[in-house]
Amino acid sequence: MTRWSQARGHIDAEAYARRFDDLADSGVHVHGEADLCASLVRPPARVLDAGCGHGRVAVELAGRGYDVTGVDVDADMIAVARRTAPALAWHQGDLAMLDGSVGAAFDLVVAAGNVMPLLAAGTESAAVAAMTAVLVPGGQLVTGFGLDAAHLPLEEAPFGLPEYDRWCAAAGLRLVDRWATWARAPYTGGGYAVSVHTTA
């Protein structure tokens, strides 16, 4: 069982998606993840939104001209994504067991929204390896996740950056940038980190 399924509880997927719509309608900028991805690769680059949820990041990137695929383990979230953007490629699946059904040769894989800490315990390294395996040479893995309870829907962080970096290194990735926010605030420690690793 994923930590997401435990943390989600009885949260309605439609209501979860509406929360971001309401924030956007109120003037809050909710596309920081897409902004960062767009600064790293240019359209029509191929992007895999890993742990896409209801599709917020994927839909935004598709609207900017990217060739986007979304994958998530949560069937309810994928159903919302398919209703929102039926023309995009959506897949239900576990990131630790990615296969050819999602495609390959992605220029960038993005895992936003605390995807990594909400995987099933013990599958994190397999998920990093699987996401790396679908990247082109020189492709980038971009993740953002909480490192303490204040930034997670969990009582404590299941791992820290040293463990994450070891999983990335074992998969053949190299850290190239790390920030405290998707807007590139400098990372000097703290409870949230956005990391960019590359296969090069």
> Each residue of 120-161: pLDDT tens digit?
999 999 999 999 999 999 999 999 999 999 999 899 999 999
Give residue 38's pLDDT.
98
Q: What is the pTM of this model?
A: 0.90
pLDDT over 90 (residue 28)? no
Q: CA 85 from chain center: how many Å?
A: 18
By percentage, how much of the chain surpasses pLDDT 90? 80
SS3 of residue 26 by DSSP? coil
pLDDT over 60 (residue 2)? yes
pLDDT over 60 (residue 76)? yes
pLDDT over 90 (residue 27)? no
Count how many residues are written for the chain: 200
Q: How far apart are CA 186 and CA 16, in angstroms?
A: 29
Give residue 99's pLDDT.
83
What is the pLDDT confidence band of residue 5, given thresholds at 50, 70 and 90? low
Q: Which amino acid is at 28?
A: V
Q: Which tokens belong to 192?
A: 């949230």
Identify each DSSP E strand in 82-173 by its residue range. 89-92, 106-111, 135-146
Q: What are the residue ranges spanned by the domains of the chain?
A: 3-198
In CATH, which of 3.10.20.440, 1.10.3720.10, 2.40.30.20, 3.40.50.150 is domain 3-198? Answer: 3.40.50.150
